[in-house]
Amino acid sequence: MNRQFPCLEVHLDRLYHNAHQVISRCEEQGIQVCGVIKGVNGMPEMAHTMRKAGAVQIGTSRLEQIAQCRAAGIEGPFLLIRIPGLTELSDTVALCDMSLQSERSVLDALEQECQRQNKTHSVIVMADLGDLREGFWDRDEFVSACVHVERDLPRVHLAGVGVNLSCYGAIQPTPEKMKQLVGLARRVEDAIGRKLEIVSGGATSSYTLVHWHTMPEGINHLRIGENILLGYDLQKLWHIQDMDYLRTDTFTLTAEVIEVREKPSYPQGQFCIDAFGHKPVYEDHGIRRRALLALGRADVGELESLMPRETGVTVVGGSSDHCILDVTECPRRLEVGDTVSFSLCYSHLLYLTGREDVLVTFTGM
């Protein structure tokens, strides 16, 4: 197969820059960083870059990605950041050094599995502070589960406690939320009579407190993916202006033009539904110059949010395998065989790196 496009170019020098910027700022405030690679399908090159920039662990939600990194010679420790199911425990113990946990029955089964494999495994027990995804809700139950690990599960090491925010519930990490987690950590420490190694305050959204120098004392760990990979969410969605020490052009997607034609912008005929069962609303802008790309929702998910790298190019829409551009205002006169490049956001990256038929190239290393 002579596939050249779509092509995802990975700018490893820019990714190293972002990783270094984020991790060094965290380190200055006594916070270690787990570099999260689930947004790029566990790409070992990304894990390597994050480790080189000082990530203390590599984290991902999928065991397959950890297996892939290990096979590629990436050194751990590896942190499993989706709480494992019972059926995942044998691979969790075999492949991961540490995992997030939120169920007492899973912790007990983890002890059994550790005995079976004659290994030890570290855990970060999760508290839910309002975002309503994973984590203990009842504070006493949380503390007693931590004490149970410490006292009754000799092969499971209680490394620390953690929280996740702004994922399901869109709850903002604030100094108050962080202080609640530190308070829970202190309760656990009082009960077990020793310090915890890790108090993990969250993901990219919690990095805002590092940036603003408002992170409370006691948080010493974050799990960061997006802000290293793309630097997009906090700068473009949270509108944080002075975070321009992070690059947002760390990946370039390039696709091939397969048709260029002047066409009406308003469909003609009787309306039914589109390829995904929706009834979109169309606006009539008259005759426009439109380019069709060999790229679709199967490759990137949502097409409309792709960010063209040149002026005068607008994504109009598309379907599973086609992307329609309006190029009427583009100074470059596009022809069949030309290519068009885009910057990406997280969901695009997630879909693109999960496909076998998207070429991935590495530059800047």
Ligand X SMILES: *Cc1c(COP(=O)(O)O)cnc(C)c1O
Q: Give residues in contact with ligand X (CB under 6 A).
A: 36, 38-39, 61, 81, 100, 164, 203-204, 223-227
Which CB atom, from 53 or from 330, has the smaller least distance to ligand X?
53
Distance of CA 115 to the CA centre of its chain: 33
Q: Where are the alpha helices (DSSP H) in the chain?
A: 12-28, 44-52, 63-71, 89-95, 104-117, 139-152, 175-192, 204-211, 226-229, 297-300, 346-353
Catalytic residue among 38, 52, 179, 263: 38
Distance CA 318, CA 293 (A): 9
Measured from each CB, the residue nearest to ligand X is 225
User: Strands 339-343, 307-308: parallel, antiparallel or unpaired by DSSP?
Assistant: antiparallel
Distance CA 330, CA 324 (A): 14
Helices 139-152 and 104-117: crossing angle in degrees, nearest 10, is 20
Distance CA 348, CA 359 (A): 14
To ligand X, the closest distance from the beta carbon of 214 in angstroms equals 18
To ligand X, the closest distance from the beta carbon of 164 in angstroms equals 4
Closest by CA position to 173, among listed 146, 227, 125, 210:
210
Which CB atom, from 15 or from 100, has the smaller least distance to ligand X?
100
Which CB atom, from 126 or from 145, has the smaller least distance to ligand X?
126
Distance of CA 223 to the CA centre of its chain: 10
Q: Tell me which DSSP letter residue 56 carries.
A: S
Which CB atom, from 122 or from 204, has the smaller least distance to ligand X?
204
Maximum alpha-carbon separation in the chain: 75
Contact 62, 40 (CB under 8 A): no
Vertex 354: Cα angle to 348 and 360 (nearest 5): 80
284: three-class secondary structure by DSSP: coil
Which CB atom, from 174 or from 339, has the smaller least distance to ligand X?
174
Contact 301, 350 (CB under 8 A): yes
The question of whether 263 is a catalytic residue gets the answer no
Which CB atom, from 102 or from 254, has the smaller least distance to ligand X?
102
Which CB atom, from 38 or from 139, has the smaller least distance to ligand X?
38
Distance of CA 254 to the CA centre of its chain: 21
To ligand X, the closest distance from the beta carbon of 313 in angstroms equals 28
To ligand X, the closest distance from the beta carbon of 128 in angstroms equals 12
To ligand X, the closest distance from the beta carbon of 102 in angstroms equals 10
To ligand X, the closest distance from the beta carbon of 5 in angstroms equals 27
Contact 31, 221 (CB under 8 A): yes
Distance of CA 349 to the CA centre of its chain: 9
To ligand X, the closest distance from the beta carbon of 204 in angstroms equals 3
User: Strands 57-60, 32-36: parallel, antiparallel or unpaired by DSSP?
Assistant: parallel
> Catalytic residue positions?
38
